[in-house]
């Protein structure tokens, strides 16, 4: 983010993450951590307890952004599932963004099935009217056993239903899925079920990340005990191929361009499906190079 830095700048607490597509956005940390914070693979928010930040702090951050971030045309509201804030806080925040940052054309945030479910259809439409343009929805898998194993706290049916409610309200939906999270035991089953979930949900964007085990997380500990086997690079590519083959979006975009991925893919589905599958086949055949391990990152 290209903002001037001063001592009285943004009040960030702990680790802060945002989607790759929000790299040039103004980052407003409206909540701390994640209200769920139980996913077995995630170590992002172990450094803080979930809380909604004081309005006075947000007022100072907005004032700083109004002065020093006049070239940024998007705002991303953190932390993990900021959508869970009450409607009154969201209405206030979106109103303040519109008033103090009138050049901003889109506001985005992370969401999960719980935070979406806590908003009525009318609430979601209201958020859209006030400027919430996109939600980033961590789904990870469409396989019921995988979702249970990683403590996602939702079934495929719930994930689909809540995702559909977002798009019905006119808010863009970007879904994150996670290659490798089913381990070697459920590798292709996880990929196939996830593609079927994406087809049923119909998001605008899909971002496929590749699992990287984080020390101290339950999934990493299971790996160290020999209870979870992580697919190798070839296995991850096989999952990516199976997932794309079973994903039928009506004009949606499928990406695997995250830093964790071995092979970058950008495909408009269904138009580019065959080209994407052909590229993966070339990589599996050794004709296309993969990102080396030392370049992969979260």
Judge whether 12 lies within some domain. no
Confidence class of residue 248 from pLDDT cuts 50, 70 and 90?
very high
Q: Over the stretch 5-58, which tens digit does the pLDDT of each residue have?
A: 444 689 999 888 899 899 999 999 999 999 999 999 998 888 888 999 999 999
For residue 106, CA distances in Å to 46, 134, 172, 203, 208 come to 29, 8, 11, 18, 23
Q: Confirm if 177 and 209 have CB atoms less than 8 A apart.
A: yes
| Integer Cα distance of 264 and 33 in angstroms | 29
Cite the DSSP H helix spans in the chain.
Answer: 55-68, 87-100, 113-117, 121-130, 144-149, 156-168, 187-201, 218-224, 233-245, 273-284
| Integer Cα distance of 208 and 9 in angstroms | 33
Judge whether 14 lies within some domain. no
168-186 CB burial, b ≥16 within 10 A, e <16: ebebbbbbbbbbbbbbeeb
| Integer Cα distance of 104 and 109 in angstroms | 14
Q: Over the stretch 167-212, which tens digit does the pLDDT of each residue have?
A: 999 999 999 999 999 999 999 999 999 999 999 999 999 999 999 9
DSSP 214: -
- CATH number, domain with residue 67: 3.20.20.70
Judge whether 2 lies within some domain. no
Judge whether 5 lies within some domain. no
Structural domain boundaries, residue 218 = 20-295
**Tokens standing for residue 129:** 């009217």
Judge whether 205 lies within some domain. yes
| Integer Cα distance of 110 and 24 in angstroms | 16
User: How many domains is the chain built from?
Assistant: 1
Judge whether 278 lies within some domain. yes
What does the pLDDT read at residue 47?
85
Judge whether 174 lies within some domain. yes
pTM of the entire predicted model: 0.94
């Amino acid at each position: 983010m290209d903002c001037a830095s001063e001592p009285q700048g943004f009040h960030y607490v702990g680790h802060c993450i945002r989607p790759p597509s929000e790299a040039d956005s103004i980052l407003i940390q409206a909540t701390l951590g994640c209200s769920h914070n139980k996913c077995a693979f995630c170590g992002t928010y172990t450094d803080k307890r979930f809380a909604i930040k004081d309005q006075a702090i947000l007022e100072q951050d907005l004032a700083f952004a109004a002065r020093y971030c006049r070239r940024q045309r998007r705002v991303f509201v953190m932390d993990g599932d900021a959508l869970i804030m009450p409607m009154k806080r969201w209405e206030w925040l979106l109103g303040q963004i519109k008033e103090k940052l009138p050049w901003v054309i889109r506001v985005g945030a992370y969401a999960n099935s719980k935070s979406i479910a806590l908003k009525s259809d009318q609430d979601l439409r209201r958020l859209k009217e006030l400027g919430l343009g996109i939600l980033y929805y961590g789904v990870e898998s469409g396989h019921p056993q995988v979702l249970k194993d990683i403590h996602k706290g939702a079934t495929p049916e719930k994930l689909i239903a809540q995702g559909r409610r977002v798009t019905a309200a006119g808010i863009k939906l970007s879904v994150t899925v996670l290659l490798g999270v089913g381990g070697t035991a459920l590798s292709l089953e996880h990929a196939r079920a996830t593609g079927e979930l994406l087809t049923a949900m119909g998001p605008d964007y899909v971002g496929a990340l590749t699992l990287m085990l984080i020390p101290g997380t339950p999934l990493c500990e299971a790996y160290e005990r020999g209870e979870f086997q992580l697919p190798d690079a070839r296995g991850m590519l096989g999952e990516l191929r199976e997932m794309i083959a079973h994903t039928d979006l009506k004009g949606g975009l499928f990406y695997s361009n995250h830093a964790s991925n071995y092979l970058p893919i950008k495909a408009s589905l269904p138009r580019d499906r065959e080209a994407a599958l052909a590229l993966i086949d070339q990589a599996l055949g050794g004709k296309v190079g993969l990102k080396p391990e030392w370049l992969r990152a979260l």
